[in-house]
Amino acid sequence: MPFDILLGGALLFGPVLFLAAPQTNPVLLAGSIVVCLHAPLFSSLRPFVHAGSDWLTGVLVVFLIAHIPALFLARWTAENRRLGARVTLLAFGYGWLAFALLPTLIMRAMGGSWSDVPRTPWILVPAAIVAAPLLLLGATGAHLFALRGGGTPIPLDPTVRLVRGGIYAYIRNPMQTCTAALWLLMGAVLANPWVMAAAAMALVFVLGMVRWHHRYDLLERFPADWLAYREAVPEWWPRWHPWTVEPARFEFSPTVSWQPLLAAWLERRVRGLDVRPGTTLRYVDGSYAAQGPNAVAWALSHINFAAVLLGSALLLVLAPFSTRSPVREAKERRLV
């Protein structure tokens, strides 16, 4: 599938089309375009464009994987709802763009192919073992923007709270670090230096857009707290232990046989976490609270970098996305 059709179509039949018809159901809007525009258009462009026998299937696939998701994303963003769905669409869309389409374009232009991937397990298995925590690093970075910050990864909805819990207590740029490291890994597996060189784009993005615009925005909204966080938490290489300001609280029930054992185990290992008896498993950090298995997952984030990756993996499965309105909470300016 041509890259320009996918990307251009996602923009034209996403935010542009939504702005033209904001009240129309995205599925009906996309369906009418397929019937009324693509069908006569493809058949009228000869000899410039020759539609193949499977052109309709191709059009439907493009609409399903690019146009309709882009329409829903534009609509939900404008209406400030379905935060979890928006983050999910952005995460999958970015992952597909960064780790599938972009390497393909680089190899088409500079040489190389996906067929260059070695078939030997002694290369693929270690590469998969390294890739798994890197993907988790990026996914949990996006997840916490919604769960704790009430926003999405830039540039659509900036978080309304300074997110410094979970993985952000260890590293400031989990998503950019994930992207750069995976490009290096993919280039090494493919033996393609041009794919490895793509990692420089992540650095340019941080040095340009992130530092120039988004860090200024954080400094303006959270002046003292952002400066303290920036000084304590590294940008690219994670800390081994978390950085915290005020201790979070982990409560457990002394009457449930295994919970005191868990609490004792945590108390010997955690940092910035006050472990105390209560009525049930509960984790409280500022304005954020979690119960049950979610509380245990958050408690793991107070041990070390390996433990926060385990806790983050659990939270991706267990924790619901925040459904609170960023607009309504913008006045709170709470730190999480």
What integer pLDDT is reported at residue 131 of this predicted model? 95
With a threshold of 0.85, does the pTM exceed it?
Answer: no
Which amino acid is residue 46, in one-letter code? R
271 confidence band (pLDDT: 50, 70, 90): very high
User: For residue 132, what are its two tokens?
Assistant: 């798994």
334 confidence band (pLDDT: 50, 70, 90): very low
**Mean pLDDT estimate for the chain:** 82
Query: How many other C-beta atoms lie within 10 A of the C-beta of residue 271?
Result: 13
The 10s digit of each residue's pLDDT in 63-74 is 777 778 888 888
- Cβ atoms 9, 66 nearer than 8 A: yes
118 confidence band (pLDDT: 50, 70, 90): confident
Which residues lie across from 275 on neighbouring strands? 250
Alpha carbon separation from 253 to 30, 243, 257, 264, 281 (Å, rounded) = 53, 27, 9, 12, 7
pLDDT score of 172 more than 60: yes
Query: How many other C-beta atoms lie within 10 A of the C-beta of residue 18?
Result: 22
What integer pLDDT is reported at residue 307 of this predicted model? 96
Distance of CA 24 to the CA centre of its chain: 28
What integer pLDDT is reported at residue 300 of this predicted model? 96
332 confidence band (pLDDT: 50, 70, 90): very low
